[in-house]
């Protein structure tokens, strides 16, 4: 797991975090997903008064990549004050698009943990799409 070009991902995750909509929890999260060609897609958490409708930053970043036609992720950086890793739902969503390296950084951009997604979600649910 290389530090090569990690700075732009960290910067994108921190910038997205600044735009988080977290009026209920105050827990702001930003994420940046990278594709094999080096393109970066950012997302932030978007809370909702109906808590179950809240969107996590990781899923917002993945959705941005998919919206742009990308179907493979190489790295995902997640930025929060609490150095929180991705929830189970986000892990499963990321698993749909490969085995990216997941990098956890704090609110200042300091790297705290790095793992392959397969380590974080060892028994991923897989379903072969119909042909």
Catalytic residue ranges:
58
- Rounded Cα–Cα distance for residues 113 and 123 (Å): 20
Strands annotated E in 21-128:
29-34, 40-44, 75-80, 101-105, 111-116
What is the helix (H) or strand (E) element at residue 21, kind and residue range? none
- Rounded Cα–Cα distance for residues 53 and 111 (Å): 29
**Cα→Cα distances 82→30, 47, 108, 110, Å:** 12, 17, 11, 12
Q: Under a CB-based contact definition with an 8 Å cutoff, are residues 8 and 38 in contact?
A: no
């Amino acid at each position: 797991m290389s530090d090569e070009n990690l700075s732009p991902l960290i910067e994108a995750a921190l910038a997205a975090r600044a735009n988080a909509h977290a009026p209920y929890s105050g827990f702001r999260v930003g994420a940046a997903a990278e594709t094999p060609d080096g393109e970066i897609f950012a997302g932030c958490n978007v809370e909702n008064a109906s808590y179950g409708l809240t969107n996590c930053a990781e899923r917002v970043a993945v959705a941005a990549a998919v919206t742009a036609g990308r179907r493979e992720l190489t790295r995902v950086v997640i930025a929060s004050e609490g150095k929180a890793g991705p929830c189970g739902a986000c892990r499963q969503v990321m698993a749909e698009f490969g085995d990216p390296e997941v990098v956890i950084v704090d609110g200042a951009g300091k790297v705290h943990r790095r793992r392959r997604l397969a380590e974080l979600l060892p028994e991923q649910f897989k379903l072969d799409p119909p042909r």
